[in-house]
Amino acid sequence: MHALSRRSFGSLWVFFLLALCCLSCGKQPAGGRALGLATTTSLKDTGLVDELLPAFEAKTGYRVEVNALGSGKALRALRDGATDVAITHAPAEEQAAVAAGEVGRRSPFMHNEFVIVGPADQVGVVAGAGDVQEALRRIASSGRTFLSRGDDSGTNQREMALWKAAGIGANSTFIVRANAGMGETLERASDEGAFTLSDRATFVAKQKDLELSIVFQGDAALRNTYSVIEPKAGAGANAEGARAFAEFLLSPEGRALIGAFGVKASGEPLFTPEAR
């Protein structure tokens, strides 16, 4: 009886170790490497990616490695096979990449808006502007500096489109390139008393540390849509993991996390899940 008990205990111990190993290893992509996520900097700067990934990893067993690049670079990383999945907010470039067969499925999953921010004592520069084009023309004639991301991010791409629509050259002398992510660009604009274009979420998340205010918002041309982009078939990326991540962002659980994010800290949601 004693020997049997010892054998039973030994078997139970082996079973426990095997179960623990399975739980700790998690579900990994082919080759044992983590699921690579290339994302726009706003998700990192606001902290949303740090809110979403633990829930996704706990639910699926995947381990995710994040590289915050900006939309243009994130899409190139996906096209080149340097990452498994991307989150971007550059709709025109995304749609072109899908149409050209360079990437796989594109799924818009949330949005917020772009805002123009500047020194609080310069709100009058754009006060009463009827649309964003008029607001930009007023900034152009104000003698003040406009700080551009200048990094081919989704924000930078939208800014270039807005300057064109306003009839103003993007190489104008009052426009200074920061060549930086959103958080760093906002900090520099604050230090230098400049205007800049920001996604609302990053500005609200960092507002307490900035000497900046929102000077223009609310134009339909400033809607900011984020999409999750999967790799094209046969790209050598972890397509299964990418699909699992996309489905999580579109799921009720993912949508609930997105919709609640920022409410406690900022008093308002920083992103809105897309309707399904």
Say what the pLDDT of residue 13 is.
Answer: 41
Say what the pLDDT of residue 6 is.
Answer: 46
Say what the pLDDT of residue 59 is.
Answer: 95
Do 153 and 41 contact (CB within 8 A), yes or no? Answer: yes
**How do residues 133-153 score in pLDDT, each as one tens digit?**
999 999 999 999 999 999 999
Say what the pLDDT of residue 8 is.
Answer: 44
Do 199 and 222 contact (CB within 8 A), yes or no? Answer: no
Joined together, the tokens standing for residue 240 give: 């299964």
DSSP state of 50: H
pLDDT by residue for the chain (276 residues), tens only, comes to 444 444 443 444 434 333 333 344 445 544 456 999 999 989 998 999 999 999 999 999 999 999 998 899 999 999 999 999 999 999 999 999 999 999 999 999 999 999 999 999 999 999 999 999 999 999 999 999 999 999 999 999 999 999 999 999 999 999 999 999 999 999 999 999 999 999 999 999 999 999 999 999 999 999 999 999 999 988 788 999 999 999 999 999 999 999 999 999 888 999 999 987
- Alpha-carbon gap, residue 19 to 6, rounded angstroms: 20
H/E element, 158: helix 154-166
Say what the pLDDT of residue 30 is.
Answer: 41
Say if residue 22 is exposed, middle or buried (CB neighbours under 10 Å; 0-12, 13-18, 19+): exposed
Say what the pLDDT of residue 81 is.
Answer: 92
Nearest-5° Cα angle at 58, 53 to 63:
60
3-state secondary structure (DSSP) of residue 233: coil
In terms of Cα–Cα distance, which of 211, 215, 73 is closest to 150? 73
Strand boundaries in 105-191, DSSP class E: 106-118, 146-148, 175-177
Say what the pLDDT of residue 237 is.
Answer: 82
H/E element, 67: strand 64-68
Say what the pLDDT of residue 266 is.
Answer: 87
Integer angstrom CA distances of residue 219 from 13, 114, 115, 116, 166: 63, 9, 9, 11, 14
Say what the pLDDT of residue 275 is.
Answer: 84
